[in-house]
Structure 1
Amino acid sequence: MYDLDGETAIVTGAAQGFGKAIAELLAEAGANVVLADVQMEKAEDVAAGIRDDGGEAMVVECDVTDVDHTDALVEQTCDRYGSLEVLVNNAGGGGGGTFTDLSPEEWRRVVSLNLDGTFNCSYSAVPKMLEHGNGRIVNISSMAGRNVTLNGNANYTASKWGVIGLSKHLARDLGPDVRANAVCPGGGPDSPMGRGIQAEDVAKTVLYLSTEISSFVTGTLVEVDGGGQLTPSASN
């Protein structure tokens, strides 16, 4: 049911964390996986592990805040594998503190990475997806995009809200040829599920949204937080 055999997926920020787990699971489902990151050594280790398990993977150094980099990422992907079916916009980051601690430079750094990076990769990938008419974009937002982060700053919250809005516009403007959805991870160990979130929880949701089993799902978001929003003390 979760078959990506012969298809190609780009995963940004794939060197660690959610991105690593996503790349590994998509490869397990049969996809050719392109790991895009600035941490080349870590990304190469992930790709080597995928190959050792019988999968197909390559690494492309990519700063998602630079559209020239994302154009090159898509070009190298299609040169190697011939097409691009799945894009997972996972690269992101944030910082702590409150609004009064936030400088314009730090605002721009996080918004550029989380929101501009998602736009840049989508902008570069969409023309290739429209060529075959079966594209899937999965954007990693956050439960901070549903309310407000307790662990980061306003730049992180604002950018993750923006990712959700961008996902909905992509779905509206590109359907039926491209489906676009957002995933909102969150949830601490005091959630109703009795544990905190794990990278595999996010990866499984991305796999669902990347395959034909979710063929009528677009323009929505999936909260992966163990019901954490039901616990007032949960940190999402």
Structure 2
Amino acid sequence: MGSRLAGRTAIVTGAAQGIGRRIAEELGTEGADVIVADIDAAAAADTADEFESSGITATAVECDVSSMADAERLVERTVEEFGSLDILVNNAGISRGERFQDITPEEWQQVMDVNLNGVYNCSVQAAPEMAEADGGRILNISSIAGQNISYEGPANYTASKWGVIGLTKHMAWDLAEYGIRVNALCPGGTLTPLIEELTTPEERSETREKIPLDRWAEPEDHADAALFLVSDRSSYITGTTLTVDGGLTLGIRHEV
């Protein structure tokens, strides 16, 4: 167990599995009290129990980030449970639909409500608590799709992740006076349940061949980067976008 985040309280949304789970575990291992927030209450509870058994202080909270009321309850529960809120990791995300021309209005709105509005909902509830405590850290999980397009996901996913980066930069500008740092993390291809659901083994192999470091990312690759961005080691960094993609977006191995 480390101590870089000792005495801090962190919310991680979408923390029951995948990248969010691994980030939550990393923050807890470094001493933070962790709120495991997820729309899947049972999965969140199981994750929190597993964290507790390994020595991490964790509490599960059911939360649909697309609901402002749920976001408000999430922050209130965190402060009631641990007395403060120092770190918010907006990780919850979904992908719905296929080609742009086939995306339904309902699929478009659902992805925007979770991936982009969810970041706003949780952040706007968390910011006053952080400001009152003279500072905090917000980390928004975007994607390399927010810098180009998603090769495995649809257009609404791409649009939402571009929006997360823009929102991150403006939040960083507006919240700096309160000592709140806001950054974005852009994962590349990562072996998570969502990716395995959306792609075939053949598609994943084709993507891997385009990655200069010659492998898909694992959730811990992003957890390491997240820890840096919410710790004191990045105390002079705000409004930045950190890409963790093994060099995929360099394009040096893409066919032209």
User: What's the TM-score bracket when you normalise by the shorter of the two chains?
Assistant: over 0.9
Q: Percent identity?
A: 50
1:198 to 210, 215, 218: 218
Instruction: Report the AA paired with residue 240 of structure 2.
Output: T
For residue 164 of structure 2, what is the aligned residue in structure 1? 163
Aligned counterpart for 1:219 among listed residues 239, 247, 253: 239
Distance 2:115 2:65 in 1: 9
Secondary structure of the 1:15 match is coil
> Is the CA contact (8 Å cut-off) linking 1:96 and 1:151 kept in structure 2?
no
Distance 2:118 2:40 in 1: 16
Q: Paired residue for 2:32?
A: 31
How far apart in 1 are the matches of 2:110 and 2:252? 30
Match of 1:101 in 2: 102
| 1:124 matched to 2:143 | no
Contact 1:9–1:87, Cα closer than 8 Å, also in 2: yes
| Alpha-carbon distance in 2 for matches of 1:174, 1:104 | 33
The answer to whether residue 181 in structure 2 is matched with residue 179 in structure 1 is yes
1:1-236 aligned within 5 A: 3-176=4-177, 177-187=179-189, 188-190=207-209, 191-231=211-251
Shift in Å, 1:95: 2.7
- Maintained 8 Å contact 1:2/1:208: no
What's the TM-score once normalised by structure 1's chain length?
0.96
How far apart in 2 are the matches of 1:157 and 1:211? 28
Check the 8 A contact 2:97/2:107 in 1, yes or no: no
Of 223-232 and 101-110, the range deviating more from structure 2 = 223-232
SS of 1:184's equivalent? strand
Looking at structure 2, the residues matched to 90 and 154 of structure 1 have their Cα atoms a distance apart, in angstroms, of 19
Specify the SS of the correspondent of 2:35: strand
Q: Which runs of 4+ in 1 moved over 6 A?
A: none
Q: Could you state the TM-score of these two structures normalised by the residue count of structure 2?
A: 0.88
Q: Determine the C-alpha separation between the residues in 1 that align with 2:30 and 2:219.
A: 17
User: What does the per-residue CA deviation read over 1:10-52, in whole Å, with 9 as the maximum and x for residues that have no partner?
Assistant: 0000000001101100000000000111111211121111111
Q: Determine the C-alpha separation between the residues in 1 that align with 2:233 and 2:135.
A: 13
Q: Is contact 2:139-2:229 (8 Å) kept? A: yes
Using the TM superposition, give the Cα deviation of residue 2 of structure 1 relative to its aligned residue in structure 2, in angstroms: 6.4
CA distance in 1, matches of 2:3, 2:111: 33
SS in 2 for 1:175: helix
For structure 1, the residue ranges without an aligned partner over 5 or more in a row are none
Give the secondary structure class of the aligned counterpart of 1:26. Answer: helix
Contact 2:97 2:104 in 1 (8 A): no
Secondary structure, aligned partner of 1:219: coil
Backbone CA RMSD of aligned residues: 1.3
